[in-house]
Amino acid sequence: MDLNIPFDLIVTIVNKGGSETIIKATKSAGAEGGTIIPGRGTGIREQKKLWGIPIEPEKDIVLTIVPQEKTQIVLDAILEQGSLNKPGAGIAFVVDLKKVVGICHMCQLDT
């Protein structure tokens, strides 16, 4: 079934353990869930060493698919509740999705 609803993917990268705050923020703003993927940071703020050995901090990557009409509301909630306006707190960005399948709960069947 083809959904005629435009969707966005919000990608949020935060320090390990911060994903629960992001998921709560997205749900409170109208998203229905998300996917959490573990990752490692290599940004400018992650260049720390312990006994001369580089440390790569662990990150949580949260993927959230939302209808485009909810994107800004969800992104604002992520910014505020995740404190992403503070240095080193994380980053979020939006990717336009051309096609989405597998989210049948959003389909409205004509009967």
**Residue with the larger pLDDT of the pair 23 and 44:** 23
Alpha carbon distance 40, 67 (integer Å): 29
Mean pLDDT of the chain: 85
Alpha carbon distance 6, 58 (integer Å): 32
Confidence tier at 59 by pLDDT (50, 70, 90): very high
Phi, psi of 42, rounded to the nearest 5 degrees = -135, 20
Alpha carbon distance 45, 72 (integer Å): 27
**Taking the model in full, what pTM does it have?**
0.82
Q: Reply yes or no on whether the pLDDT at 111 is more than 50.
A: no
Identify the residue whose tokens are 């604002």. 76
Structure-token pair, residue 53: 């050995």
Q: Are 38 and 62 in contact (CB under 8 A)?
A: no
Convert the pLDDT of each residue in 60-90 to its tens digit: 999 999 999 999 999 999 999 999 999 889 9
Contacts 24+ apart (CB under 8 A), 92-95: 92/10, 92/11, 92/12, 92/13, 93/10, 93/11, 94/8, 94/9, 94/10, 94/11, 95/8, 95/9, 95/11
Alpha carbon distance 58, 74 (integer Å): 24
